[in-house]
Amino acid sequence: MESKPVWWIGYLYWIFGFTGAHRFYYGRQLTGTLYFCTLGLLGIGWLIDLFLIPGMAEKAQLKFRSGPYNYNIAWGLLTFLGMFGIHRFYMGKWITGVIYLCTGGFFLLGWLYDLWTLNSQIDALNS
């Protein structure tokens, strides 16, 4: 399995695109936040992204480093189990993993922080 962001996983997150999930996955935090707050630009941006995902995937492939930590696994854990800190355990960040586990992702603020920074965290671990 490819360790960098890939197009087909982007399409899986696109299904939930009105939340900006696919944009966060490809390292586009500002537009991800905009989609989160506007339900995918009222669905219009979400539909347009159906055609933009291959380009976003290609740029993400060039931007992020491969290494022992897999972006796809980390993003899956963050997306579906983020408030329990499972993605932090995966990255070897045990203390914050336990804090997230006991506080619901540090009262969801830590989970939001990780939406913004997970790619750079994985990139740093892979360097």
Mean pLDDT of successive 10-residue stretches along the chain, which has 127 residues: 85 86 95 92 93 96 92 94 95 96 91 94 94
CB neighbours of residue 15 within 10 Å: 11
* Model pLDDT, residue 2: 66
Give burial (CB, 10 Å; 0-12/13-18/19+) of 20.
Answer: buried
CB neighbours of residue 60 within 10 Å: 20
Task: For the full predicted model, state whether its pTM sits above 0.75.
Answer: yes
Spatial contact of 47 and 32, defined as CB atoms under 8 Å apart: no
With CA atoms as reference, report the closest residue to 69 among 2, 1, 3: 3
* Residue linked to tokens 């203390």: 95
